[in-house]
Every structure is written in C-alpha cells, then in structure tokens.
Amino acid sequence: MMRHVARSDTSEVEDTAASRNDPAGDDGSNGVLGEDRQRDVTFHGRDPETVAAPAIVVGSPTKCQARTRLYRGGRLAEEGFALERISDHLADGDMVWLDLRDPDHEDLAVLSEEFGLHPVSLEDAVAEHERPKLDRYRGHLFLTAYGARFDETTGKIATSELAVFVTPQALITVRKDDGLDIGKVTERWDASDDLLAGLGAAGLGAGCGVGYLLHGLLDYVVDSHFEAVQSLDDTIEGLEDQLFAVTPQDMQVQRRSYELRKSLVLLRRVVLPMREILNTIMRRDLHYVGEEMMPYYQDVYDHVLRATEWTDSLRDLVTSILETNLTIQGNRMNIISKKVTGWAAIIAVPTFITGFYGMNLPYPGFSERAGLYTMGVLMLACTITLYAVFRRKDWL
C-alpha cells in the first residue's frame, strides 16, 4: 500500500548553500522559531527548474515559480495549467494543488483572490522562522513544518521551511527554498494513486482527496526527520568508538559531541511539534481526513512518535558521552599524576643519598673509595626496591 512505497523513497540532496536561519527557539514557545536570527545553511533538492517539470506553470502571473495539478474523479487530469483557471476548476468541484517557491506578498495575493485565505495566514506564509504549528481558520487550515537534513561531515542539521494551506478542494504549498524536493512529493502521490482513485470512485468528495495529498506531503516531511535521526545515530556510534580509542582523542570527541548535541536540540524543535500537528489534523470534527485515510495518518503519527523518542534518547546518549569523556580525562590525569609521583619518590632517594655524602664533614668512608662504593650500592638498592614496590602496587 501507500506506506511501503513511500518509505522506500530516499531524498536526493546535492550541495549546501547559505539561506535560511537556524530555527532555534524554546521548545514550548509560540510565534517565531528562531530568536537570534543567525543565518543557517539550508539544503537543496534536485534542479528546481526541472523537478516536477510537467506541473510548472508557463507564463505565471507570479514572479516566483509556480506548479499546478488538477485532480478529477480521483485521477490526475491536468498539470501546469494557468493560475487564472483555478477558480473555474474549483467551481466544477475539482481538486487543485498549487505550489509556490519563495513567493513574496504580491505573489501570495493570488492565493487571497483565488481561495479567500485569511490575511494572518498569508503573513505567516511569507514570514521566516515560524515555529511548526497548525492554525485553524474559517474555511481552511494553515500549517508550518520543516524538512531536515543531517550533514555527517559538519555534524549540523539543515532545515527547509514549508507553509501549507489546506482547503476542502485545494492543497497549497509555499516553500521558502528548494530544499524540500517537491518532485519527490509528486512521485509519492503518483506511486499510490490507486488509493486516490478509490476515494474518487466512492464519491467521497474532493476533501478526501486533499487528505490524500496532505498525507503524502507530511509523510515525506516526517521521512526527512526520520532519516536525519538515523544519520545522527550512526554518527554517534562512531563517536563512541573514538571515545574508547587507544590513542586519546579528547578534543575531537568533545567538539563533535557539542556539535551533535546542538543539532539534536534543533532537530527536536522541528520534530516535537509534529505530534500536535498530526493530532489536530486527525480530529474528526475538521472533516479533512476521512475514515479511509485515518490508518495512513496514524502510521505517520507513529513515525513522528518514534522520531521524537529517538531524538530524546540520542540527546541523553550525547550527554553521557560528554560526561564519560570528562571522566576518562580525569582518570587519565590521575594515572599520570600517580606515575609521576612514583618516579619522583624513586628519584628522591638517590638525591637524598648524594646530598648526604656531599657534605663537607668527615663520615665513614670519607675521601675513600669504600664510601663511593657504599653510596652507589645504597642508591641502586633503594631505587630497585622502590621500583619493585610501586610496580607491585600498580603505581607505575
């Protein structure tokens, strides 16, 4: 079914480039996701000029790139049609998908005219660094989510912001960049179009079809979270090997641990709110998810829970690695101090003997070879004795 096809899909990501801010804010805060406005590094999908090419609108009235799809009777009927035709299709009872990449306020005016969306939701759609959330307005839902990608080289998490409008007859996606590969989303829809066709054949209305499209989109976003957590887990396993390496790598382990801990904190802020988003969407009084789609949403919700729990456990593991690294450093320092003290004690005895025999006072064997021999034998005997005792007590 749809889940098995979707889960095998793997995001193709190429290089990284400076774009969006680090979505960093308090876990329980509202409003914007990032407070310090430091620029983050986003990731990129395939070529935005060619991905999902049949759906790209030619001659769009918007300055940004737009994609459209039309579904009629549970089947894909048309792609890449003009935005001016959206109203006619909605009047005919068809289902529409519209995607805008990095739009401005003027571009989003098209949404207001065609779909009658709330001005506050339009403001949130163009605002950067919004916290993942789901808002309910009269006639539509608005949600914000983030795709995630982990860079194993730098140990950092990159995010890609996504805003989504959900109406009974339309799904509208607003992407701030091309990090979220929209081509993968359309491929996911097409891979299981038999379910959508079944909903259309059952005469359940366009709203059930919107629930199908929204599921494929959220499933892809959650998959990116899951893949990021899995990559972090693999990296942390390698860090554990470094922790107990024969050659000490204290600074590398400590630096890498802090990088991974920061990435896990950021990832948790992206993943944790998805539980609330899925819970709200699955509410039956919203009528956006029919009974036929409920098991698929429940499956996505289970993956959100797994990703959240996995992230929390990895945070605890990284904290344990940091504490263990400090403990190992302390133990190693104690061993070094013990050995240095033992050698200092061994050297102190010959120093004492040579100091005694170096006095300018007569003593047994003074100015005689017997005195020199006696001093040498004493130093050698004491040194060997102390060395043997310290070795037996594991002080050296």
pLDDT at 35 over 50: no
What's the pLDDT score for residue 329? Answer: 79
Q: What percentage of the chain exceeds 90 in pLDDT?
A: 28
What's the pLDDT score for residue 38? Answer: 37
Q: Phi and psi dihedrals of 143, rounded to 5?
A: -135, 150
Residues 104-118 as b/e (b if ≥16 CB within 10 A, e otherwise) read eeebbebbeebbebb
Lowest mean pLDDT among 16-25, 209-218, 228-237, 239-248: 16-25
What's the pLDDT score for residue 60? Answer: 79
Highest mean pLDDT: which of 43-47, 185-189, 286-290, 336-340? Answer: 185-189
Say if CB 142 and CB 172 are below 8 A apart: no
Place of tokens 């005689």: 368
Say if CB 157 and CB 144 are below 8 A apart: no
Highest mean pLDDT: which of 58-72, 98-112, 211-225, 318-332? Answer: 211-225
Q: What is the mean pLDDT of the chain?
A: 80
pLDDT at 284 over 70: yes
Better pLDDT: 208 or 142: 142
Mean pLDDT of 23-43: 40
What's the pLDDT score for residue 214? Answer: 93
Lowest mean pLDDT among 46-55, 117-126, 305-314: 46-55
Say if CB 112 and CB 119 are below 8 A apart: yes
Instruction: Give the Cα separation of 349 and 378 in Å (integer).
Output: 9
Mean pLDDT of 257-262: 89
pLDDT at 44 over 60: no
pTM of the complete model: 0.73
Mean pLDDT of 40-57: 71
Dig out the tokens for 112 from the structure: 């207001």
**Strand 170-175 relative to strand 95-101: parallel, antiparallel, unpaired?**
parallel
What's the pLDDT score for residue 216? Answer: 92
What's the pLDDT score for residue 204? Answer: 54
